[in-house]
Structure 1
């Protein structure tokens, strides 16, 4: 159960995100691509994009396991939610944030060995950070770009209905539509969550981020110091993934399995292992 604690100031600062968030959709769609759930909703999309997945996507899946914690720095919050702005923020991630998130990744997935190039990333190596950003861009353009207008349109419709609901009935009514498990009793919003935890907003407000690829439970940053964002699933129309007008080219399903370290060129050379990041 996730408990989000509000003040009156937080309610005044709560907003619905202005549109789909590119890097959140990159991250969460990777879960859908590797899972076997929701075949009715996402099966057509998976069949269409699997042949187009770039080999560099393995850099992302190393940082975002199919289940459990993924590093927070893959989804930076920017004033303008465009792919270019987010990629620039990703490239500028402070070394302390990289190391902290990667250490937590190692701690929370103790049986999962991280590839050698992650050592360079933890040290703030500019080539390593740039490679991760480029991998996110390549995956987005190949696997999400051909569908992005449909994704945006569906989230825009939800935003419009959400704003109407705020005007008619207030934030409490909006909170209770976020998820079947949502329970609102000021000052606490409760929702089903993979782990038990609390988010104290402390006057910062909350951004409600609808996500096209999110399923089951909402998700949020693990780091409590980050700007509070609640990412939650939307309803879909079956058959949304009609054949796109254009699709990228990539390395196919094999990229998700992770190529050997030498496939990353200089990133792997001398990078060491991620084991020192552990506890």
Structure 2
């Protein structure tokens, strides 16, 4: 059983991450490659790690509970890689001893062997390009869809329902969030707050860590894992709205300006504005002006339509 002891201050500071963390997703993907997961079976068959990346499997087990410094939270891959390579020696050694068997790479990293740390950098770069880089659009689509749905739940039912709905078998015991998983553990942010981050490569139990802002990080499986993501609008939705308009609605799970819509879809700004106006008239999109820019986002009704008609 996983128990999160949340205070009133923690509940007031619940927020969603702004985007996927590249190295965290890589770590989850490497763990999933080693698991027997039917959802990812086809994806795993077509994913071949370069030889240079295979030593990463000495660090990241199927449980994903490897050294915390290997898959930090960052906005970009290069930022995350800098965080890995600048890990203080004592912290890296403690994490490696805590989580890894004393095989070649963990032992050499713990001894601060320069060649081993160079090999780690190359392994992360090569693995990222093959495993995560090729699916960036699908990863972002899954992440955005998950957050859009959670925001609807939060708006309509409150943060309690949103948190309890993150993982099957979750429930509230006072202000403790209890998750039914085989292993027993207890965590308390103690007023630091809670940052929620869906992982598109993970279907296992929620994972606990620390966000770069100091809050507790809760990583949970996204509603739709990356192998099931379809970045094209569904035929039924396209038939109802028209393919371009359906694509506009699909993109608007996140706020976009009219210019961003036009650029994303390869249409004129005038056409993007017309499509957004039509969707707004149907109650599927909300629009607001911010200075000279006009920003659009799907309404709860639009999100429900997407969720019914589109498997992210």
**Would you say same fold, with TM above 0.5?**
yes
Say which of 95, 100, 110 aligns to 1:101: 95
Corresponding residue for residue 134 of structure 1: 122
Instruction: Give the alignment partner of residue 114 of structure 1, picking from 93, 103, 111.
Output: 103
Find the aligned partners of 2:12 and 2:65 in 1 and give their Cα distance.
30
TM-score (norm 1): 0.74
1:208 pairs with 189, 196, 202, which one? 196
Higher relative contact order (CA 8 A, sep 6+): 1
Larger proportion of strand: 2
Corresponding residue SS for 1:49: coil
Which whole-Å CA distance do the structure 2 matches of 1:216 and 1:227 have between them?
Answer: 22
In the other structure, the counterpart of 2:280 is none
Residues 63-93 of structure 1: per-residue CA shift (max 9 Å, x gap): 1122473111112234xx2111111111111
Distance 1:239 1:118 in 2: 31
2:76 equivalent in structure 1: 82
Distance 2:5 2:220 in 1: 17
* Aligned twin of 1:44: 42
For the structure 1 residues 166 and 238, does the alpha-carbon distance in structure 2 shift closer, same or farther, using more than 3 Å as the test? closer
Closer, same or farther in 2 for the Cα pair 1:193/1:136, shift >3 Å?
A: farther
| Structure 2 CA distance for partners of 1:210 and 1:235, relative to 1, 3 Å | same
Measured in 1, the distance between the counterparts of 2:223 and 2:195 equals 19
Flag the 1:99–1:57 CA change in 2: closer, same or farther, 3 A. same
Gaps of 5+ in 2: 231-312
| TM-score after normalising by structure 2 | 0.67
Q: Following the alignment from structure 2 to structure 1, what is the Cα–Cα distance between the partners of residues 226 and 56?
A: 28
Which residue number in structure 1 is paired with residue 183 of structure 2? 195
Query: Quick check: 2:209–2:217 contact (8 Å CA) kept in 1?
Result: yes
Distance change >3 Å, CA 68–CA 208, structure 1 → 2: closer
1:21 is matched with 21
Q: Which has the larger radius of gyration?
A: 2
What is the CA distance between 1:238 and its match in structure 2?
A: 9.1
* The one of 161, 171, 175 aligned to 2:163: 175
Aligned to 2:6: 6
> What is the CA–CA distance in structure 2 between the aligned matches of 1:118 and 1:83, rounded to whole Å?
22
Count of equivalent residues: 228
Q: Please give the root-mean-square deviation of Cα atoms over the aligned residues, in Å.
A: 2.4
Three-state SS of the structure 1 residue aligned to 2:187 is strand
